[in-house]
């Protein structure tokens, strides 16, 4: 099983055996790139540099242009992940063990380097013809902006591309290397290095995606968790305006006052490194030591994007969250988790909130999860959808509720929707006919939205736009419209909390 997972990462198992067909070749980024045909006919171009390696004197600087390489370049292997620890495989192991598999099914992450500013492109098969360029979907991975990489098995775009979309996944700098604002770095210490990497990748897409058959005027950014919050941050950045035209935010919206500021990022950097350390000393520290330092000083820290004076430039939006976002992160002391959640509620509202939660469920873990998940995911989702609607943009809101068929206690956990979107569920992840049906439904919604700005299509349950009174769609064992008043009741009860 370990070999299977590694094969997925390397995409070797998907390579076509058509020895009589030459590799697909494109000219992009000033280079001649030779990709690979996959078994489903999709053309894959992997590990493409979109910016120069941000190491040495370029560490913490805004992304610099990648100098084109001479001669044909092989684009058949994924590039390195950006510097990080083993948090990503540890998360997958947690899910694998909970759903009945051995943790060894997920190997450790080994290919890591600061030379990581690469992207991957999956283009529709050449036999799939249409009169206009294909819509483009750019995936921004999650991982608290401290873990994750573009070529995780669940993020690979071959299945979506086969249906008529050009799919791009991107790496960006993480943790202290991507969200660092020490005063010794001057203007380089913006705290936005990771966000500016994403901007550079989107600029590369705008300039080069036509070579892969993509339409640079129909670019949809989509991402989960920190990837979703980064998308929301990109809506605020002047540098990102016009680089994407639609957005899909999965379990990742933030309230305006939850973004980081330059001063916040600078305070973290001084906490981890002395205030009088020099820029050269910082640039000379091996990245492994930087990763160790951030793990020691800020374990479990979410590196919120740095956004000053938030002002959204809205685009059409799909946004949603999962029913049990925080359940997998609850401690063994559920009552303590419940008390912690209550402590964040304004004192004058706690009795009403507790009474409501006693009605919601007899399960103490369900109540504790809802108390944590609502303010962190569900309520910001509602507020951002309202802001988009008020700005004159369409918003389509979902609640993901599907629970995998296994004896686990994860519920519809954080990140559970991703393999349904990509149709890339790991072999060890339990599934039945309902999961296969939901996969097809969600993939079609996402592709329709990327193509037209509306997820609806033939033979799909109707998904109403967010309106007054608001409507949302449940994506679960059934796909149906549900009562939004009940779903967001806790948000109304906690409005005005500390």
- The upper half-sphere exposure of residue 236, i.e. CA atoms within 13 Å in the direction of its Cβ, equals 19
| Model confidence, pTM | 0.94
Question: Rounded distance, CA 331 to CA 39, Å?
Answer: 43
CB 415 within 8 A of CB 377: no
Strand partners, 134: 214
Q: What is the pLDDT of residue 19?
A: 41
In a domain, 4, yes or no: no
Angle between helices 193-208 and 226-236 (to 10 degrees): 80
Number of domains in the chain: 1
Residues 305-354: tens digit of each pLDDT: 999 877 778 999 999 999 999 999 999 999 999 999 999 899 999 999 99
In a domain, 358, yes or no: yes
Q: What is the pLDDT of residue 453?
A: 97
What does DSSP assign to residue 225?
T
CB 440 within 8 A of CB 360: no
In a domain, 17, yes or no: no
In a domain, 421, yes or no: yes
- Looking up residue 388, the CATH number of its domain turns out to be 3.40.50.1820
Question: Rounded distance, CA 428 to CA 430, Å?
Answer: 6
Q: What is the pLDDT of residue 9?
A: 44
H/E element holding 246? strand 246-250
CB 45 within 8 A of CB 124: no
For the CA atoms of 260, 319, 426, 363, what is the dihedral angle to 10 degrees? 90
Q: What is the pLDDT of residue 126?
A: 83
Q: Name the H helices within 285-406.
A: 287-297, 334-343, 350-360, 364-373, 379-390
Can you tell me which residue has the tokens 């935010």? 249
Three-state DSSP class for residue 319: strand
Q: What is the pLDDT of residue 17?
A: 40
Residues 69-79: tens digit of each pLDDT: 999 999 999 99
Question: Rounded distance, CA 429 to CA 421, Å?
Answer: 15
Order across the sheet with 72-74: list the strands. Answer: 25-28, 31-34, 72-74
State phi, psi for 349 to the nearest 5 degrees.
-110, -5
**Sequential DSSP letters for 101-158:** --GGGSPPP--B-S---EEEEEE--TTS--SSPEEEEEEE--STTTS--TT-GGG--H
Three-state DSSP class for residue 317: strand
Question: Rounded distance, CA 466 to CA 461, Å?
Answer: 15
Question: Rounded distance, CA 143 to CA 360, Å?
Answer: 30
Question: Rounded distance, CA 117 to CA 473, Å?
Answer: 36
In a domain, 16, yes or no: no
Residue 299's nearest CA partner among 22, 90, 107 is 90
In a domain, 183, yes or no: yes
How far the first Cα of the chain sits from its last, in Å, is 47
Chain center to CA of 469: 29
Q: Name the H helices within 212-275.
A: 226-236, 262-272
- Peptide bond preceding 40: is omega within 30 degrees of 0, i.e. cis? no
Question: Rounded distance, CA 323 to CA 365, Å?
Answer: 13
Q: What is the pLDDT of residue 132?
A: 87
Question: Rounded distance, CA 176 to CA 180, Å?
Answer: 5
In a domain, 429, yes or no: yes
Tokens of 397: 């809101």
What does DSSP assign to residue 374?
I
Angle between helices 334-343 and 350-360 (to 10 degrees): 140
Alpha-carbon distances, residue 94 vs 101, 152, 327, 328 (angstroms): 10, 16, 13, 9
H/E element holding 10? helix 2-10
Tokens of 102: 């051995």
Question: Rounded distance, CA 248 to CA 363, Å?
Answer: 32
Mean pLDDT for back-to-back runs of 10 residues, the chain (498 residues): 41 42 93 97 98 97 96 97 97 96 94 98 88 94 97 97 97 97 94 97 98 97 97 94 97 88 92 93 96 93 88 91 96 94 91 92 93 91 93 96 94 97 96 97 98 97 90 95 84 69
Three-state DSSP class for residue 310: coil
Order across the sheet with 317-322: list the strands. Answer: 36-37, 43-49, 118-123, 166-170, 134-140, 214-224, 246-250, 317-322, 395-400, 472-475, 479-482
Q: What is the pLDDT of residue 470?
A: 82
In a domain, 5, yes or no: no
182 is in which domain, residue-wise?
Answer: 23-494
Cβ-proximal residues to 129 (8 Å cutoff; 6+ apart), any chain: none
What does DSSP assign to residue 376?
I
Q: What is the pLDDT of residue 282?
A: 96
């Amino acid at each position: 099983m370990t070999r299977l997972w590694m094969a997925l990462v390397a995409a070797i198992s998907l390579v076509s055996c058509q020895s009589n067909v030459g590799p697909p070749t494109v000219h992009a980024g000033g280079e001649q790139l030779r990709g690979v045909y996959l078994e489903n006919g999709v053309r894959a171009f992997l590990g493409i540099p979109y910016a120069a390696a941000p190491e040495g004197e370029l560490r913490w600087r805004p992304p610099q242009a990648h100098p084109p390489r001479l001669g044909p370049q092989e684009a058949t292997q994924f590039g390195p992940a950006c510097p990080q620890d083993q948090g990503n495989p540890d998360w997958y192991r947690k899910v694998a063990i909970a759903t009945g598999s051995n943790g060894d099914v997920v190997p450790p992450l080994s290919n890591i380097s600061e030379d990581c500013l690469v992207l991957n492109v999956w283009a529709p098969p050449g036999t799939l013809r249409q009169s206009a360029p294909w819509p483009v979907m750019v995936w921004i991975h999650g991982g608290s902006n401290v873990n994750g990489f573009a070529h995780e098995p669940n993020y690979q775009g071959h299945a979506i591309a086969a249906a008529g979309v050009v799919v791009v996944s991107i790496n960006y700098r993480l943790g202290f290397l991507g969200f660092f604002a020490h005063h010794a770095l001057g203007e380089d210490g913006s705290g936005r290095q990771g966000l500016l990497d994403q901007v550079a990748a989107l600029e590369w897409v705008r300039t080069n995606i036509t070579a892969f058959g993509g339409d640079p005027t129909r670019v949809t950014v989509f991402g989960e968790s920190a990837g979703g919050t980064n998308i929301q941050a990109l809506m605020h950045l002047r540098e990102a305006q016009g680089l994407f035209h639609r957005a899909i935010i999965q379990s990742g919206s933030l309230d305006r006052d939850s973004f980081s500021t330059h001063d916040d990022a600078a305070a973290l950097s001084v906490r981890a490194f002395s205030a009088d350390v020099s820029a050269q000393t910082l640039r000379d520290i091996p990245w492994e030591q930087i990763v160790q330092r951030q793990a020691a000083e800020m374990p479990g820290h979410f590196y919120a994007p740095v956004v000053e004076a938030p002002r959204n430039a809205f685009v059409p939006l799909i946004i949603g969250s999962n029913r049990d976002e925080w359940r997998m992160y609850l401690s063994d002391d559920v009552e303590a988790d419940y008390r912690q959640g209550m402590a964040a509620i304004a004192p004058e509202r706690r009795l009403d909130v507790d009474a409501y939660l006693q009605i919601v469920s007899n399960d103490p873990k369900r109540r504790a999860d809802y108390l944590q998940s609502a303010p962190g995911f569900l309520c910001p989702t509602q507020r951002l959808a309202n802001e988009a609607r008020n700005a004159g943009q369409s918003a389509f809101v979902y609640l993901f509720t599907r629970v995998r068929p296994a004896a686990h206690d994860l519920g519809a956990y954080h990140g559970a929707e991703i393999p349904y979107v990509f149709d890339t569920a790991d072999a060890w992840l339990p599934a039945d006919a309902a999961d296969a049906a939901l996969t097809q439904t969600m993939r079609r919604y996402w592709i329709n939205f990327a193509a037209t700005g509306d997820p609806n299509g033939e033979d799909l349950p109707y998904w109403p736009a967010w309106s007054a009174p608001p409507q949302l769609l449940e994506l679960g064992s059934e796909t149906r419209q549900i009562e939004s008043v009940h779903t967001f009741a806790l948000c109304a009860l906690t409005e005005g909390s500390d």
